[in-house]
Amino acid sequence: MPTYDPNNIFAKILRGELPCYKVYEDDKVFAFLDIMPRAPGHTLVLPKAPARNLLDIAPGDLAAVAAAAQKVAKAAMTAFNSDGITVQQFNEGAGGQVVFHLHVHVIPRKAGVPMKPPASEKEKPEILAEQAKALAAALQSG
Ligand code: DGP
């Protein structure tokens, strides 16, 4: 199995070396918007601890990520008036993983609206900023 690369793009975001549209943080987990969303409000939920994917993450960190993904999903139902939520998580290149720090995709869905293809289009910064604000507010009040 390949080892964790501390210079992956999400590790840089976690260290504050690159910007992000943050929506949630606790002692074990960090969540921010995907800049190439498959649907409005598409959020990535990450462990703060270094983990490449499902195959090497410590069970306690995985549990914390799952609990945070549930919080984000519930908040997204309110913030985006969603009809449902799609959760995805990819492992290794063969499994569809592109960035090698474990992340869970939480994707708000509207009935009848298909998801965009993965990483197809960058969202405008002002829209991401607005969505992050709405989601963070729903998380705080929920
Ligand atoms: P995957 O590793 O296949 O689960 O997908 C990686 C996702 O990360 C993809 O949906 C696009 C997103 N992404 C790529 N680069 C960046 C970035 O610099 N910032 C943010 N917020 N998202 C990114």
Residues 45-58 pLDDT 10s? 999 999 999 999 99
Q: Locate tokens 């939480």: which residue? A: 106
pLDDT digits (tens, 9 = 90+) for 77-125: 999 999 999 999 999 999 999 999 999 999 999 999 999 999 999 999 9
Atom index in ligand 1 nearest the CA of residue 88 equals: 4
C-alpha 132, offset from chain centre:
12
- Domain assignment present for residue 90? The answer is yes
Q: 63 in helix, strand or coil?
A: helix
Q: Which of 34, 88, 97, 135 to mutate to test the pocket of ligand 1 (most atoms within 8 A of CB)?
A: 34
C-alpha 121, offset from chain centre:
16
Structure tokens at 68: 């945070």
Q: For residue 110, give every residue at least 6 positions away whose Cβ sits within 8 Å of its Cβ, in sequence order, or none.
A: 39, 82, 83
pLDDT digits (tens, 9 = 90+) for 11-34: 999 999 999 999 999 999 999 999
- Domain assignment present for residue 3? The answer is no
How many domains, the chain?
Answer: 1
Active site residue 103: yes
Instruction: Look up the CATH number of the domain holding residue 114.
Output: 3.30.428.10
Tell how far the Cα of 120 is from the centroid of ligand 1, in angstroms: 11
* Catalytic-role residue among 42, 101, 103, 105: 103
16 is in which domain, residue-wise? 9-136
Query: Exposed, middle or buried: residue 116 (CB in 10 Å: 0-12, 13-18, 19+)?
Result: middle
pLDDT value at 1 more than 90 = no
- Domain assignment present for residue 2? The answer is no
Angle at 33 between CA 28 and CA 38, to 5 degrees: 125
Ligand 1 pocket: which residues have CB below 6 Å? Answer: 9, 20, 32-36, 90, 96-99, 103, 118-119
Tell how far the Cα of 59 is from the centroid of ligand 1, in angstroms: 23
pLDDT value at 40 more than 90 = yes
pLDDT value at 142 more than 90 = no
DSSP code, position 93: G
pTM of the model: 0.98
- Domain assignment present for residue 106? The answer is yes
C-alpha 48, offset from chain centre:
12
Angle at 134 between CA 88 and CA 75, to 5 degrees: 50
